[in-house]
Chains A and B, each alone.
Chain A
Amino acid sequence: MTACWGCVDSMDVIRVDMDGQTAIFDQNTGNTYVFDILTAEILLKLLENRLDEGRIKQHLIDVFQFDATDSLDDHIATALADLEQSFLVHRLSTC
């Protein structure tokens, strides 16, 4: 997964939450993305922490108040797949 995150590492983002979805504007490229709010939180923490999944999990638990019964790993896996797909497509088309 890390192979295609070059452009993500350098993102300088503006974030707007819109009814459960989050719009993210990358000021470096002018690209706009929309994710569900969970995926957006993961992306923003990735940008801060460079794939430190332990800290990302703790952040999500804090923000969304997940408990032990939630399959947080599944949420994260799905979100990361969405992000990878978004930025892989972006990378292939513009990088």
Chain B
Amino acid sequence: MLISDLSLDEIFQRLKRSELRFQAGIYTICVYSPYKVVAEGLKNLYQDYHLVDLDTFCDFYLAVKSPGLVRRWFRPQVVFSHDGFSPFKPLPADHAFALFEWAFNWCVGNHAHNFLLLHAAVVEKNGKALVLPAPPGSGKSTLSASLVAHGWRLLSDELTIIDPDTLLAVPFPRPVSLKNYSIDVISVRFPDMYIGRKSYDTTKGTVAHMRAPTDSVFRGSERVPIRWIVFPKYEAGSETKFETKEKGQTLIETIENSFNYDLLGRVGFDVLTQVIQDANCYRFQYSNIDEALQLFDSIAEGEQ
């Protein structure tokens, strides 16, 4: 049974009873929220995700709720808690769904230490994964959203999860987070892609999410080897540049974009050096999304 099989009201009622449980990639999640905006977000952006039975053990028990009675009615706010712990400050209630998305990422980023976790988008074509590590503002989400809308499979727009035993990238397909100008860029260039409602004035500016393609969600258990590691940089008006990046430099910058390299110690070093040895590493500057798509398609096709 999929989330799309439930009406909006059924999703809302389940959320209010902590009875909405579903599978996203390798993780199962149980969500509690008394906010209809969260139900709407799940209805519109998680329609293809499989519900799990109420007696299923969940990896994360996540609540998006009011921080107190007063803030439920006066300048309403929401807070996220996981197992009773609230790591973030309360946000305006309008940001409830965006907070859910950040919270889910936080849960994985802070607990999935049986994997090496990178702050990087990861997409796949022809059985090979392209990893896009980059700090915020580099155009990573715009590029990964474009690749996904263009037919690449989404593994994640935020977290590259690497299995240390197999060195394969583990899918964690979720809605793609778009910020500010990239919301309009994607909606104009790819009008068939569904983008949810905007949250304004968040700490990241205006945020909206693009629905993950059905195929990416359904193939959430298919792991793939990492073939390319590309550091993207959006520069308005710049020419497209695609240059080989030294592997040592790739290692250092990838470590800087890792959530748990330090925690894993020797395992993290062994995994990351081996992944980088096996991959082709590049730096990529772009401003024209069509040129970028053409370039990555030709690279993927060229290695078939």
| In contact, A25 and B266 (Cβ under 8 angstroms) | yes
Distance of A69 from chain B, by nearest CB (Å): 27
Interface residues of B in 222-266 (CB under 8 A from A): 246-249, 251-252, 255, 261-262, 265-266
Is B107 interfacial (CB 8 A cutoff)?
A: no
Is A63 interfacial (CB 8 A cutoff)?
A: no
Please, which residues of chain B bring their CB within 8 A of the CB of A20? 246
Per-position contact with B for A14-51: 1 when CB-CB < 8 Å, else 0?
A: 10101111110101001010110000000000000000
Please, which residues of chain B bring their CB within 8 A of the CB of A25? 266, 269
A→B interface (CB under 8 Å): 14, 16, 18-23, 25, 27, 30, 32, 34-35
| In contact, B248 and A21 (Cβ under 8 angstroms) | yes
| In contact, B251 and A14 (Cβ under 8 angstroms) | no
Which chain B residue shows the least CB distance to A35?
B248
* Cα distance A34–B276 in the bound complex, in angstroms: 13
Please, which residues of chain B bring their CB within 8 A of the CB of A35? 248
Please, which residues of chain A bring their CB within 8 A of the CB of B265? 27, 30
| In contact, B248 and A32 (Cβ under 8 angstroms) | no
| In contact, B266 and A34 (Cβ under 8 angstroms) | no
Contacts A16-B273, A32-B255 known; A22 to B266 CB distance under 8 Å?
Answer: no
| In contact, A19 and B269 (Cβ under 8 angstroms) | no
* Cα distance A27–B269 in the bound complex, in angstroms: 10
Distance of B268 from chain A, by nearest CB (Å): 9
Which of A18, A27, A30 touches B251 (beta carbons < 8 Å)?
A: A18
Distance of B274 from chain A, by nearest CB (Å): 8
29 sampled A-B residue pairs with Cβ under 8 A: A14-B266, A14-B270, A16-B277, A18-B247, A18-B251, A18-B273, A18-B276, A18-B277, A19-B247, A19-B248, A20-B246, A21-B247, A21-B248, A21-B249, A22-B248, A23-B248, A23-B251, A23-B269, A23-B273, A25-B266, A27-B265, A30-B262, A30-B265, A32-B251, A32-B261, A32-B269, A34-B248, A34-B252, A35-B248
* Cα distance A22–B249 in the bound complex, in angstroms: 10
Distance of A10 from chain B, by nearest CB (Å): 16
Main secondary structure of the interface of A (DSSP, over half): strand
Please, which residues of chain A bring their CB within 8 A of the CB of B276? 18
Please, which residues of chain B bring their CB within 8 A of the CB of A34? 248-249, 251-252
Please, which residues of chain B bring their CB within 8 A of the CB of A14? 266, 269-270
Interface residues of B in 260-304 (CB under 8 A from A): 261-262, 265-266, 269-270, 273, 276-277
Distance of A35 from chain B, by nearest CB (Å): 8
Which of A16, A22, A30, A32 touches B252 (beta carbons < 8 Å)?
A: A32
Which chain A residue shows the least CB distance to B276?
A18
* Cα distance A42–B251 in the bound complex, in angstroms: 21
* Cα distance A32–B255 in the bound complex, in angstroms: 9
Please, which residues of chain B bring their CB within 8 A of the CB of A32? 251-252, 255, 261, 269
Please, which residues of chain B bring their CB within 8 A of the CB of A22? 248
Please, which residues of chain A bring their CB within 8 A of the CB of B247? 18-19, 21
| In contact, A21 and B273 (Cβ under 8 angstroms) | no
Please, which residues of chain A bring their CB within 8 A of the CB of B266? 14, 25, 27
Closest 3 CB pairs of A and B: A21-B248, A34-B248, A18-B247
Please, which residues of chain A bring their CB within 8 A of the CB of B252? 32, 34
* Cα distance A40–B295 in the bound complex, in angstroms: 36
Which chain B residue shows the least CB distance to A27?
B266
Could you say which of B247, B265, B276 has the most chain A C-beta atoms within 10 Å of its C-beta?
B247
